[in-house]
Chains A and B, each alone.
Chain A
Amino acid sequence: MTDELQLISAAKAGSADAFADLVRSYRLRLLRFLLTRCASYADAEDALQDTLIAAYRYIHSYDPRWRFSTWIYRIAIRNAQKIRSESVVEFGDLSDEESDPMLLCINASETNNLWVSARRVLNDDVFAATWLRYAEDMSISDIAKALDRSDSWTKVNLLRARKALDIEMNKENNGSETYG
């Protein structure tokens, strides 16, 4: 954590190398998350690049009371939303196996990846909250900050997402009803 703070202060002073070191461990995790939000692998890569540039440009606005991961995920979520709003491809089209970048990155043996079902049954914000909770082990308050939502909204929706995903996990036959 101390190393992270040192890298942050070096990045604030204008060291691009320090910033590159700082975000090195986040790049894969961010790309994986962005891949679930974008229409193509190239879009996810662009979103990652934009996220890192924005984070470096506005590094002075980073408040050390936040976890760095929360702050950078917040930027990533905004960038993903921006790219998706600019893209013509609708969210529903992502279920097409031939073009869905997330499905292309899942091993063929992993037949029942729950995140595929999660994306179908949860809305955007609830999906992001669920990802941050279970893939990133973030706390409720950090998720609320990253999504710019209240703690109570986050708690309630995570609980509902859990129930929906429990059903998905236990039943092969998935419903088409979208939650949220």
Chain B
Amino acid sequence: MDKLAEKLKADAAAIDVHISDDLDRRIAASLQGVEPERPSQASPRSRPALFWWASSLSGVAAALAVIAIINSQSQTVEPPVAVAETSPVNEILTPVIDWKTESAMLTQPLQRELEDLRSDIKKAEEKVKQDIGL
């Protein structure tokens, strides 16, 4: 040990402290009044590093599988269909759909609400007229 280290060690020991009886009692009483926290009360432990590696690898594998599937589907070329072979649509036999029914269904509740409001206004007007004696 060199001179400086010796001096520092000796000087630290020269700082004269003592634990008073009062402090001793305080510490003992405090410790008796404290319950050590259980591990379950502590913050959750972080996952092991292996978990992150496994999840990263499985993610990469899934991404590669998706890319492979998409590429294999785009590479399959459908055979060209000859224009002459397509069957002509028989326009006479195609059924005509009545599209008006759907729009009527959508606005029906609002129209009913409007009618109810109008009748309420009319009733209110009549009541006011009766009250003022007209």
Within 8 Å of chain B (Cβ to Cβ): is A113?
yes
Q: Which residue of B lies closest to A110 (CB)?
A: B14
Min CB distance, A155 to chain B, in Å? 16
| Contact flags B1-36 to A (C-beta < 8 A → 1, else 0) | 001110111011111111110010011101110111
Q: Are B14 and A12 in contact (CB under 8 A)?
A: no
**Count of B interface residues, CB-CB < 8 Å:** 30
The stretch among A14-22, A78-86, A91-99, A146-154 that forms the contact with chain B is A14-22
Q: Which residue of B lies closest to A33 (CB)?
A: B12
Q: Are A162 and B4 in contact (CB under 8 A)?
A: yes
Within 8 Å of chain B (Cβ to Cβ): is A115?
yes
**Count of A interface residues, CB-CB < 8 Å:** 40
B92-120 interface with A by 8 A CB criterion: none
Q: Tell me the interface secondary structure of chain A in the complex.
A: helix
Return chain B residues, CB-CB under 8 Å to A52.
Answer: 27, 30-31
Docked pose: A124 CA to B118 CA in angstroms = 82
Are A32 and B31 also in contact (CB < 8 A) when A59-B36, A60-B37 are?
Answer: no
Within 8 Å of chain B (Cβ to Cβ): is A126?
no
Within 8 Å of chain A (Cβ to Cβ): is B39?
yes
Within 8 Å of chain B (Cβ to Cβ): is A4?
no
Q: Are B36 and A32 in contact (CB under 8 A)?
A: no
Q: Which residue of A lies closest to B14 (CB)?
A: A110
Q: Are A58 and B11 in contact (CB under 8 A)?
A: no
Q: Which residue of A lies closest to B22 (CB)?
A: A45
**B18 contacts which of A20, A28, A57, A166 (Cβ < 8 Å)?**
A28
The stretch among A66-74, A101-109, A171-179 that forms the contact with chain B is A101-109
Q: Which residue of B lies closest to A50 (CB)?
A: B30
Q: Are B23 and A45 in contact (CB under 8 A)?
A: yes
Docked pose: A58 CA to B12 CA in angstroms = 29
| Contact flags A111-145 to B (C-beta < 8 A → 1, else 0) | 00111001000000000001100110000000000
Contacts A28-B18, A56-B34, A135-B8 aside, 20 further interface pairs with beta carbons under 8 A come to: A12-B36, A14-B36, A16-B34, A20-B28, A27-B27, A28-B17, A36-B15, A49-B27, A49-B30, A52-B27, A52-B30, A59-B36, A107-B14, A110-B11, A110-B14, A114-B7, A118-B8, A134-B4, A135-B9, A169-B4
